[in-house]
Amino acid sequence: MTITIKTPEPRSEGARAFLARRQKQILIDGVWRDAGSGQRFETFDPASGRLLAELAEATASDVDEAVASASAALTSKEWKGMTPSARGKLLWKIAELIDAHVEELAELETLDQGKSFRTGRFGEIPASAEQFRYFAGFCTKILGTTIPTSIAYQPEGREIFAYTTREPVGVVAAITPWNSPMLMAAMKLAPALAAGCTVVLKPAEETSLTAIRLVELMLEAGLPKGVVNLVTGFGEVVGAALTAHPDVDKVAFTGSTEVGKLIVSAAQGNLKKLTLELGGKSPAIVMPDADMALAIPGIARGIFSNSGQVCVAGSRVYAHRAVYEEVVDGLSKAAAALTLGHGLDTGTDLGPLVNRKQADRVAGFIAEGRSEGAEITSGGNQTGEFGTFFEPTVVTSVRPDMRMMREEIFGPVVAVTPFDHPEEAIAYANDSPYGLAGSVWTQDLSSAHRLAARVKAGTIWINCHSYFSPELPKGGHKQSGWGYENGAPGLENYLETKTVCAVI
């Protein structure tokens, strides 16, 4: 099957107007301008190959200016002097503007990234607004404590008064990936601003459009200049300059484990604080008593949505032998029923992968697996005029040592393995350098919570997969990352504690 696709015209006035302004700029200290070098790079619709925009290609000297602007804004009257209540209102206003532009933002995300319009319109864009709404509430509730001390050596007749205050960690470099571009940016910007930090945002070079539009909306909401700066460009240049910069206090990164490790090295110079949301190889364990009417569509959605380009995608399914055939059959039928096409076409379930390179990478895993004896029960082919699509694929007869079972594929590929005893399922599930997420499918309460406790991962879902919300902390155990995003722990990572101890 070869799909030839044209880019449909976006329906929203906003997306059309945004794309009509073909050349995009970077934002430094409240001013949009070209990169210092004057260089640009192009961004395309991965479904049709159409050129969408030319982006400013920033270099290290632009990064220096962006960081200087963020440093100055940290102590500016407009930002540091803003009351917590006003900061909360500002975040809420940003959420309202995102909601008001939801159609436009979803269309831009589909065009730039490939995902189905539905995913953006009803999932990721409203979820981005919710990030700002959730963290808006924290602004007025960032509290220190008073501490009764037991220190024995205060001078006669004096007392000790000790307390803590919370301070923003400082200048944050937010480096985001291409799988859910707007949501990943919102997940960093919202807590950073709630904490009073300032930010230099570097979106993925493949998908920078919604980040640009989001920052425009943030300025429209009244964000003071310098509080958020935006530099578009390449990871090895802009990302590397930010992570090594002596005046960046923290890096908030989502992306590959490989780049996560590079950032750990680069951050050594000034011992930056790091939160790293890295890769995953998340297991789904299906017990013999699972409710199949929930499990099959839930597992299918957990791996195939966004064409598998999801850090928590449930790419390894372990099914009890009593239900193994039913799971393989059910997932294969669910895969075959999904329609590939342009994300803006209403009948489309799955768009292309983000680019040819990513689709080639997925195809490489499948070819290697096949040569080692893996069997494909559905899909398995790279397709589309530009080779950017990949069919939703179900694989069986895999072994734990195969590369497709150890590395993050980041495509619509799920491998199903039978097990006989829950201990075997736990051993399989934990046999991975990753520990991001996992799901357990059973109607037995005890078995559900026992399995949840035994699988090493930052999130376990029971009878669901890939359920997110800003109040649910999300982070990786093992090599899936450091620190947490969302929930109260997500705010903590943007705050320092200061202890004040006084003899009075």
Work out how close the CB of 106 gets to ligand NAI at its nearest, in angstroms, rounded to a whole number. 20
Tell me which residues in 182-221 interact with ligand NAI (CB under 6 A).
202, 204-205
Tell me which residues in 295-354 interact with ligand NAI (CB under 6 A).
311
**Can you tell me which of 48, 179, 388, 396 binds ligand NAI, judged by CB under 6 A?**
179
Longest Cα pair distance anywhere in the chain, in angstroms? 87
Tell me which residues in 137-176 interact with ligand NAI (CB under 6 A).
175-176
| Closest CB to ligand NAI among residues 133, 316 | 316
| Closest CB to ligand NAI among residues 235, 341 | 235
Confirm if 362 and 410 have CB atoms less than 8 A apart. Answer: yes
First to last CA, the chain: 80
Query: How far apart (Å, rounded) are the C-alpha atoms in residues 406 and 400?
Result: 7
Tell me which residues in 223-242 interact with ligand NAI (CB under 6 A).
235-236, 239-240
> Any bridge partners for residue 462, and if so which?
440
| Closest CB to ligand NAI among residues 205, 485 | 205
Q: Please choose, out of 145-153, 252-260, 289-297, 335-343, the segment that lies near ligand NAI by the rule CB under 6 A.
A: 252-260
What is the DSSP annotation of 266-329?
Answer: HTTTTT-EEEEE-----EEEE-TT--HHHHHHHHHHHHHGGGG--TT---EEEEEHHHHHHHHH
Nearest Cα to Cα of residue 330 among 362, 291, 297, 367 = 297
**Can you tell me which of 10, 36, 226, 255 binds ligand NAI, judged by CB under 6 A?**
255
Work out how close the CB of 387 gets to ligand NAI at its nearest, in angstroms, rounded to a whole number. 16
Work out how close the CB of 434 gets to ligand NAI at its nearest, in angstroms, rounded to a whole number. 9
Query: How far apart (Å, rounded) are the C-alpha atoms in residues 425 and 419?
Result: 6
Work out how close the CB of 275 gets to ligand NAI at its nearest, in angstroms, rounded to a whole number. 13
| Closest CB to ligand NAI among residues 259, 295 | 259
**Can you tell me which of 186, 263, 300, 404 binds ligand NAI, judged by CB under 6 A?**
263
The verdict on 177 binding ligand NAI (CB under 6 A) reads yes
Tell me which residues in 392-451 interact with ligand NAI (CB under 6 A).
408, 410
Q: Return the active site residues.
A: 277, 311
- Reduce the DSSP state of residue 361 to 3 states and report it: helix
Q: Tell me the number of residues near ligand NAI by CB under 6 A.
A: 26
| Closest CB to ligand NAI among residues 239, 483 | 239
The verdict on 256 binding ligand NAI (CB under 6 A) reads yes
Binding mask 264-303 vs ligand NAI (x if CB under 6 A, - otherwise)? --------------xx------------------------
Tell how far CA 29 is from the center of its chain. 26
State the burial class of residue 471 (Cβ atoms within 10 Å of its Cβ: 0-12, 13-18, 19+). Answer: exposed
- Reduce the DSSP state of residue 188 to 3 states and report it: helix
| Closest CB to ligand NAI among residues 15, 311 | 311
Work out how close the CB of 476 gets to ligand NAI at its nearest, in angstroms, rounded to a whole number. 9
Query: How far apart (Å, rounded) are the C-alpha atoms in residues 272 and 170?
Result: 10
The verdict on 109 binding ligand NAI (CB under 6 A) reads no
| Closest CB to ligand NAI among residues 88, 177 | 177
| Length of the chain in terms of residues written | 504
Work out how close the CB of 267 gets to ligand NAI at its nearest, in angstroms, rounded to a whole number. 10
Nearest Cα to Cα of residue 131 among 161, 75, 164, 176 = 176
- Reduce the DSSP state of residue 133 to 3 states and report it: helix
Query: How far apart (Å, rounded) are the C-alpha atoms in residues 495 and 504?
Result: 28
Number of C-beta neighbours around residue 121 at 10 A: 17
Query: How far apart (Å, rounded) are the C-alpha atoms in residues 210 and 225?
Result: 20
State the residues that interact with ligand NAI by CB under 6 A: 175-179, 202, 204-205, 235-236, 239-240, 243, 254-256, 259, 262-263, 278-279, 311, 358, 361, 408, 410
